[in-house]
Amino acid sequence: MTAPTAPGESAEAGAVERVIERIRSVYSRWNRHTTAVEMRRDWDALFGAEASAIPSEKADAGGVPGEWIGARDADRTIFFLHGGGHQIGSVASHRRLIADLAGSAGASALAIDYRLAPEHRYPAALDDALAAYRWMLAQGIDPARLAIAGDSAGGGLAIALLYRCRALGLPLPAAAVLLSPWTDMTASGESYTSRASLDPIHQRPMLLAMARKYLGEEGDPRDPLASPLFGDPSGLPPMLIQVGERETIVDDARLFAEKAAAGGVAVQFEIWPGMIHVFQMYPDELAEARQAVGRLGEFLRSAIP
């Protein structure tokens, strides 16, 4: 496992603060009366200008709506699962990030709009991810030329899908890239306290509330298919994990990386100085976002030569 730092320019504070204000311009409109539908609309609109100009092709991935993004004749494929706490986020909100990752890796990418809570609680999202993954295999996509990727809740979902495929005896992809993965729905990491003053967005009570909406009142937050930190990562493919230094969920990424490495998984783990949650989504403002996606692409080109 690599050291928990990343090279590159130090974060330009003004740029990061401008990104934070951009995010807060959306979050500040929400209150306990705001519906999930309204939050999803606002979040998609935040990235709408970047997303609308990116070519994509609609797909029915085993009954799950999705989009192909990137060069369809590429000899690498990425299966991307978006973040958003299992309540917001979509292919539309993540289309720029997916396109940047696909371009960096020389790959085509399939991203899906899996079902969201609270209308569709666990395990609906995982069931959709599995259906789409089975569909990709049935289309003749070679798992040796396939990588799985996800950010935040989508990163945790990506790991859960790997666990599920392993248990079912399905072939695993060749590699995984995880951006700020949410791996612990109990929010037990020390970083939830130590970095609370640094993280401008995600605090422990908020994440616990999101977990309850995803799992329901009777759901088990220690279920490895909901919180992969509590599972066994042995046998998973090589992976690169990136997280921002200012995130409360640093330990979600770090502890999972350590557990995976102890289980024999080839893990590269990076903490990016001065960065916030899924900073890779802001390439126009942050040089670090562009650098990080470049490193993700290098990793995938190496893992799938």
Q: How confident is the model at residue 8 (pLDDT cuts 50, 70, 90)?
A: very low
In 3D space, the residue among 92, 81, 58 whose CA is nearest the CA of residue 147 turns out to be 81
pTM of this prediction exceeds 0.85: yes
Q: Pick from 18-22, 48-52, 290-294 the range whose average pLDDT is largest.
A: 290-294
Q: Report pLDDT digits (tens) over 42-59.
A: 999 988 766 767 889 999
**In the predicted model, is pLDDT for residue 278 greater than 90?**
yes
Per-residue pLDDT averaged across 276-290, rounded? 96
In 3D space, the residue among 127, 151, 166 whose CA is nearest the CA of residue 263 turns out to be 166
Phi, psi of 126 (to 5 degrees): -65, -40
| Residues labelled as active-site residues | 152, 247, 277
Q: Report pLDDT digits (tens) over 156-199.
A: 999 999 999 999 999 999 999 999 999 999 999 999 999 999 99
**Sequential DSSP letters for 230-245:** GS--TTPPPEEEEEET
Domain ranges of the chain: 13-29+36-303
Per-residue pLDDT averaged across 72-96, rounded? 96
Is 107 in contact with 293 (CB distance < 8 Å)? no
CATH of 13-29+36-303, one of 1.20.1070.10, 3.40.50.720, 3.40.50.1820, 3.40.1010.10: 3.40.50.1820
Is 224 in contact with 255 (CB distance < 8 Å)? no
